[in-house]
Chain A
């Protein structure tokens, strides 16, 4: 298609791949097999399979699962209703805009909102409830994470709903399916690809969050991401940090395979 000379344009690109895609993965694997003094060891892996780290991995999974679940539960109806509005692309744009505001600023807002004297507690006091610390709880951590991820879940689901041929829905209804059956048997299966991409862009980042755990969960929740940051920047134990990173990469690959989309399987 394109002439041979354009192959030369690949040169900087391949250097980029070698230096910033392949080399970092190799380095992470290499470092995961070094101890604090730079000697070869498999101790880091042994440590990872100790109860402390396994427990941390499980809790991290559990939180990521909850975050993804709630994000999906709120995002799907929103995307669904958005496709039914008159100026749907304008509304979608309005959903996307908050995702462009710096992540840190949004997280910071919740420090104030959930604070002891913040609006949430003021609201609770109206009903005669005592002010309580909402910040630094599991609830605040999951709420803020869901808040951050919701636009990223809505976009792919909206796109797949938007592509859905409405005549299929009409056909199902005409053939006597209730709205629930139509949803379960027609709409949802046909938009599963959107849901899968949504899960991909939520679950993996949710495993590796570290900024929200520090600011909102007050170090109570330790995710895999927090542990990596801790090992690298606080304890300076790059070997252990790399080992956790290796596992995070493995988990990521598994999730990608599970939620991978079969190309050309289904006619759209």
Chain B
């Protein structure tokens, strides 16, 4: 392959600089002892200290993580079972309909999802707050789990199941000992994506959260509307740090899963 010309390299570099500059800009000023994002006075950790001393903010952080983990877990269970169910459907038309319905929430604008869920919760009489936020996050994470698990199920060799059945495995054994281990990478990817969906969501949560309950995105929004506060910068420093950790962790886990898979198949 041809080597990249200097102009191309400069272009790529520029794209990377523009992509990362705002993030590092935020983090840089999180260490600023002055109160603004344009005049670096001296180095300080006080904004980070402020985050950890603000018990309200800590509660919001914990809420966000709990909603993400719980919704990811529930969505992964329902989504994985759903994917197994979809594969078991023989009627092609029915299968296609289910798959199109599955994709509706993925392509819908989140404002519409938020608005329609708000109507739904009000009609059923669910109090807006933790429950409504959790249920919404589960709802919009399920389709992505299905999409991650489905290809793994489809590439699975059916003779594996026949063999297990012939060798006397019960239906339950087939599920827990054959199917689930095989599609595990897909389940993992689905759970991971569900987590990021939940952590990143703003619009849907904004609609279905009541007055008492708030996630990190909502809190940042209201802080940002009020103007610049370096506490937000400190939060972004922490978020960036955690994101990098998660990326590295995910990279190692999937790599290991791949290696184990290859060894099993050998």
Q: A residues engaging B (CB < 8 A)?
A: 1-13, 16-17, 19-25, 27-28, 31, 74, 77-78, 81-82, 84-85, 91, 93-95, 97-98, 100-113, 115, 117-119, 122, 147, 150-151, 166, 200, 204-205, 207-208, 210-211, 214-215, 224-225, 228-229, 232-233, 238, 241-242, 245, 248-249, 252, 256
Whether A97 and B111, one on each chain, are in contact in the complex, defined by CB atoms closer than 8 angstroms, is no
A112 and B119 form a contact (CB under 8 A): no
- Report the nearest B residue to A201, measured CB to CB: B107
Q: Nearest chain A CB to B186's CB is how many angstroms away?
A: 15
Contact with A along B31-43 (1 / 0, CB 8 A): 0000011110000
8 A Cβ contacts from B198-222 to A: 199-200, 202-203, 206-207, 216-217, 220-221
Among candidates A102, A109, A214, residue contacting B25 with C-beta atoms closer than 8 Å:
A109
Cα distance, A78 to B203, chains bound together (Å): 29
- Report Cα–Cα, A92/B80, bound state, in Å: 28
Do B235 and A31 touch across chains, with their CB atoms under 8 A apart?
no
- Which one, A6, A77, A233, contacts B85 given CB within 8 A? A6
Chain A, residue nearest B246 (CB):
A100
Contact A27/B119 with A108-B220, A108-B224 known, Cβ cut-off 8 Å: yes
Q: Does B69 contact A (CB under 8 A)?
A: no
4 A-B pairs closest in CB distance: A13-B82, A10-B85, A24-B116, A208-B109
The yes or no answer to B8 lying at the interface (CB within 8 A) is yes
Q: Which of A7, A12, A25, A82 contacts B78 (CB 8 A)?
A: A12
List, in ascending order, chain A residues with CB within 8 A of B216's CB. 102
Q: Are A23 and B120 interface neighbours, CB within 8 A?
A: yes
Q: Is the CB of B86 within 8 A of A10?
A: yes
Q: Complex: how many Å from CA A151 to CA B23?
A: 15
